[in-house]
Amino acid sequence: MSETQQITKLGMPKWGLSMTEGTVVQWLVEEGTELSSGDEVIEVESEKINNAVETPAAGVLRRRVAEEGDVIPVGGILGVIAPPDVSDEDIDSYVEEFQANFDPEEAAEEAGGPEPEKVEVGGTQIQYLKVGEGEGPPIVLLHGFGGDINIWVFNQEALAAEHTVYALDLPGHGGSTKDVGEGDLDSFVEVVADFLDEMGVERAHLVGHSMGGGIAGSFALAHPDRVASLVLVASAGLGEEINGDYIEGFIAANRRKEMKNVLGMLFADPDLVNRQLIQDVMKFKRMDGVDEALRAVADKVFPDGKQADVPDLSGVEVPILAIWGREDNIVPHSHAENLPEHARVEVLDDTGHMPQMEAAGKVNRLIGDSLDGSGS
């Protein structure tokens, strides 16, 4: 193997449909550090939140090319990973050659990816994003209260390496209709069923976050033959307790400062909430019909600051993986105790209510392992 073949680029990832560049916040390791594949190396500010970039290969961090504060285009070089026996001259040559040949516009075009689509299901217009063309049951991602397909920006592409992955905007959210019908879990379950029918999907792996977890669990009870496995991320639907201040605060917030404080409840580190995330949520909140939709859902699913629907999942026989943040301030991780005995539970340290964003690499690996173990 040549020296160049042993060198691995640590590149700026593409997190989200419209991301074209990221800002280096801080390096998490020093040059000369021995790394294992998946180790967090550098923190980058994306359009949504700050997140850590993981090394794609084992080796030594031989060069920190980007400096803190640098704005690097998607695909650009952040650092170099290589074995210790690769010479400094070869590292320098690799960096120089990459920089000389790198075309940011071409890299951005290659990383463009699919765009969201809309489909009519049961008289309801649903926006969704499809990524990947894997065989076997696809993965369907269901967001929580006030969320949309963008909460999966750090996950969908990674999961699509071996699966077809659909992310949905539920009624009342994102680019979907703002008419939520009854606005309860059962009504969302039927929307998901209609969506699967429209996509020609007989059976799917359901991954639900927060309220989306409650919908996924309820779906498994209503349509057991259509579920290959369940992944419940900081899931609702497993106990009555929920942070009602968050629900009411999200509905009431109409100024950026108010929304920043509300969104800060979602994360173990509130400083992860950046201006772009706040701006995107405020843009959604100002859409016609949103306030009424959120109010209707909150009144049905979270009346009086409690969860109205706590389905009994004891009879669900498919593989279940529950992922929680130990510092979840919205839904306590103790609710995992109400899962069936065969469920696997992973509680992540230094993580709040958004594990799929705060600890994306770990969550992606846990989901991937779970799907491998399910045999489909």
Q: What is the pLDDT of residue 5?
A: 64
Residue 85 CB coordination number (10 Å): 9
The reply to whether 117-374 shares the fold of 4-110 is no
Label each residue of 102-141 as H, E or C.
CCHHHHHHHCCCCCCEEEEECCEEEEEEEECCCCCCCEEE
Amino acid letter for position 139: I
Token couple for 64: 């920190």
Q: Identify the pLDDT of residue 231.
A: 98
CA angle (356, 362, 368) in 5-degree steps: 90
Phi, psi of 5 (to 5 degrees): -65, -20
Beta bridge partners of residue 22, listed in sequence order: 72
| Best CATH choice for the domain 117-374 from the list 3.40.47.10, 3.40.50.2000, 3.30.70.890, 3.40.50.1820 | 3.40.50.1820
pLDDT at 61: 96
- What is the domain partition of the chain in residue ranges? 4-110, 117-374
| Nearest partner of 43 among 56, 67, 25, judged by Cα | 25
- Looking at residue 138, the DSSP 8-state letter turns out to be P
- 27 contacts 16 by C-beta, under 8 angstroms: no
> What CATH class has 4-110?
mainly beta
Residue type, 152: W
Please provide residue 127's backbone torsions phi and psi, each rounded to the nearest 5 degrees: -95, 140
Nearest to 297 by CA among 128, 147, 118, 124: 147
161: three-class secondary structure by DSSP: coil
Which pair of structure tokens corresponds to residue 56? 């794609």
Q: Which two tokens stand for residue 283?
A: 């843009």
Burial code (b: 16+ CB inside 10 Å, e: under 16) for 141-166 equals bbbbbbbbbbbbbbbbbbbbeebbbb
Per-residue model confidence (pLDDT) at position 271: 86
CA–CA distances in Å: residue 104 to residues 23, 77, 111, 308, 347: 15, 11, 10, 50, 39
For helices 256-264 and 244-252, angle between their N-to-C axes, nearest 10 degrees = 160
Residue numbers in the chain where pLDDT is lower than 70:
1-5, 17, 48, 110-112, 374-376
Nearest to 321 by CA among 200, 229, 258: 229
Nearest C-alpha neighbor of 296 from the set 376, 209, 179, 191 = 179
d(CA 305, CA 29): 43
Q: Give the burial class of 205: count Cβ atoms within 10 A of its Cβ; 0-12 exposed, 13-18 middle, 19 or more buried.
A: buried
pTM of the model: 0.88
Written as six digits, the tokens of 98 are: 């990459």
Nearest to 199 by CA among 97, 130, 272: 130
pLDDT of residue 158: 87
Bridge-based pairing of strands 77-82 and 204-209 is: unpaired
Compute the half-sphere exposure of residue 199: CA atoms within 13 Å on the CB side of its CA.
Answer: 27
Tokens of 327: 């510092």
